[in-house]
Amino acid sequence: MRICLFPGTFDPITLGHTDVINRGLDLFDRLVIAIGVNSSKTPMFTLEERIAWIREIYKDDPRIEVAYYKGLTIDFCKKIDARFILRGIRYVSDFEYEKAIADVNRTIAPQIETIFLTTVPQYSSIASTLVRDIHRYGGDVAPFLPPQVMEGIKRSQK
């Protein structure tokens, strides 16, 4: 079975993320979308919200699993028997950063391969950091987020 991990903070999950996930689905038998918990970061949205949003988006696709983890991504891959890591690339600078991580991961666990998918042009400017800033200052984030996330954000603001 081809198991792939798509790690990230997904704070929040954006249309850029779902673009990569949706295109990656045909490459693997199972895709684990895993939220990495980093004690040095304070997310805007709770872990529970982010997990719920991803589960809601992919509730009808049995190939998708949602999880969270602490520690090294490569260790989590080993724990779930993932032989692949999926990463989205928006710009050349993303590739340089992601390649460095992939090279280190390959040194630690040569049996785990990193797969890069570039985002489609309409989503290449979407970054969770920008979405959080727009949201923080009352701007409209709807063009950047899946409807399930928008509904969740509206519910939490009541």
At 39 the pLDDT is: 73
At 93 the pLDDT is: 86
Q: Give the pTM.
A: 0.94
Count, residues in the chain: 158
Per the annotation, binding residues for ATP are 9-10, 17, 88-90, 98, 123-129
The pLDDT of 90-96, averaged and rounded, is 89
**Could you confirm whether 135 is annotated as catalytic?**
no
CATH number of the domain that 76 lies in?
A: 3.40.50.620
Predicted confidence (pLDDT) at residue 79 exceeds the cutoff of 80: yes
**Could you confirm whether 17 is annotated as catalytic?**
yes
What span, in angstroms and rounded, lies between the C-alpha atoms of 139 and 158?
A: 17
The burial of 72, by beta-carbon neighbours within 10 Å (0-12 exposed, 13-18 middle, 19 or more buried), is given as middle
At 155 the pLDDT is: 83
Predicted confidence (pLDDT) at residue 14 exceeds the cutoff of 80: yes
The domain tally of the chain equals: 1
At 123 the pLDDT is: 85
Q: Which domain holds residue 12?
A: 3-157
Q: Which of 39, 40, 41, 158 is catalytic?
A: 41
Per the annotation, binding residues are 9-10, 17, 41, 73, 87-90, 98, 123-129
**Could you confirm whether 128 is annotated as catalytic?**
yes
User: In the Cβ-directed half-sphere of 132, how many Cα atoms lie within 13 Å?
Assistant: 12
* Torsion angle (degrees, nearest 10) of CA 89, 13, 85, 4: -130
Q: Which of 90, 99, 106, 132 is catalytic?
A: 90
**Could you confirm whether 70 is annotated as catalytic?**
no
Predicted confidence (pLDDT) at residue 2 exceeds the cutoff of 80: yes
